[in-house]
Structure 1
Amino acid sequence: MSFDSGPVFGWTIFCDDIRAELGGKFSFMGCYTGNLIVHDKLPLMLPKLGIAITYYERIRGVTDPVKIRVYFPWEKEPVITGDLPVDKFRATLADPDARYHRIDLTFVAAPFHIPSLGIVRTEVVVGDTAFDWGRLKIQQQLRDEEAPPLTSQPTA
């Protein structure tokens, strides 16, 4: 596979759980594809919410500090914020064939309290530029016995 992205790129995986395995692997359980659909009335509690952030940076392509932020829709301020240790890998000699450095971060909120609907989002800030790194929309779809009818039935 060959690609040439910009000086920084990456993604966020949202899932039910993250497990660290031998050999530097991670297993992501119950990955969400953009939507977390709840079937009960709010507020509610999920056992966990896993957030895995992957950050790539072109070797010798970025010199600015890098921060990460995680936002929950019901909080005014980020629930997670911090500096990425980019100086450490910028100072190391890279594989001569490598084009990017990579950092993987994992977080698990346990339990994950959902008081309202909205969007969980991650952000990477490089210098003064903020990048939208991932979004998970929390939606509600009540169970059949609680949901209003979708269509009316014709009467005889």
Structure 2
Amino acid sequence: MMERYGYSIFCDDIRNEPGGKLSFVGCYNAVMFTAPRFPLVLPKFCIHFHVFSPATQPYESVLSRCYVPGRTDPIAEEAIEVPRLQDQINLLASLPKNGGAPPCIVVAASLVFTPLEIPEPGMIQVRALINGGPGELQVGSLTVTPAEG
């Protein structure tokens, strides 16, 4: 059985393009190398994420949370719009029964911070609370570390 999962893109900017496209500018790989001085303040920082759920496990609600190193409480907590429950159930009923890969319901959103303060080195984390819990789904992380030199 397929599990819920997600991923995040961490970048300096997200731009809306014609035709509904998104452009991600200054994307980070697994690590953000910074100056050695903390707290660090970035003038702008963006996170775009997707959460996938098997169509047999529809969403009632999705709450995104962003954590920065040095703080235990989320710095952002935002409800993400999900399709109406009946629309999700109707979609599942309309799909062919032997269509190959199991169908998913996907929600996506962007978090934009202007500015973002990072108190200390560590990990920026994105998590999602789905249907009220019981736990948070890890949706992505970015290690923040001072550059050597």
Short-chain TM bin:
0.7 to 0.9
- Unaligned ranges ≥5, structure 2: 97-101
Match of 1:30 among 26, 48, 51: 26
Query: 1:93-130 CA deviation, whole Å, 9 max, x = no partner?
Result: 43636811211100111122233211110112233132
What residue is the counterpart of 1:72 in the other structure?
A: 68
1: CA distance between counterparts of 2:64 and 2:39? 27
Shift of 1:43: 2.9
Match of 2:79 among 77, 83, 88: 83
TM-score, normalised to structure 1, is: 0.75
Contact 1:59 1:90 in 2 (8 A): no
Paired residue type of 1:90: L
What residue is the counterpart of 2:99 in the other structure?
A: none
Cα root mean square deviation, aligned: 2.3
Greater mean deviation of Cα atoms: 113-122 or 11-20: 113-122
What residue is the counterpart of 1:39 in the other structure?
A: 35
Shift of 1:47: 2.1
Query: 1:8-54 CA deviation, whole Å, 9 max, x = no partner?
Result: 22201111111122222111111111111003522332221111110
Q: Which has the larger radius of gyration?
A: 1
Higher relative contact order (CA 8 A, sep 6+): 2
1: CA distance between counterparts of 2:128 and 2:2? 14
What residue is the counterpart of 1:152 in the other structure?
A: none
What residue is the counterpart of 1:150 in the other structure?
A: none
1:132 is aligned to 2:132: no
Shift of 1:55: 1.1
1:10 is aligned to 2:6: yes
Q: Which runs of 4+ in 1 moved over 4 A?
A: none
Query: 1:50-105 CA deviation, whole Å, 9 max, x = no partner?
Result: 1111012222324664322111113231111233333x343224363681121110
2: CA distance between counterparts of 1:123 and 1:18? 20
Residues 107/82 of structure 1: CA separation in 2 closer, same or farther (3 Å cut): closer
Paired residue total:
138
Residues 17/33 of structure 1: CA separation in 2 closer, same or farther (3 Å cut): same
Residues 44/21 of structure 1: CA separation in 2 closer, same or farther (3 Å cut): same
Contact 1:89 1:101 in 2 (8 A): no
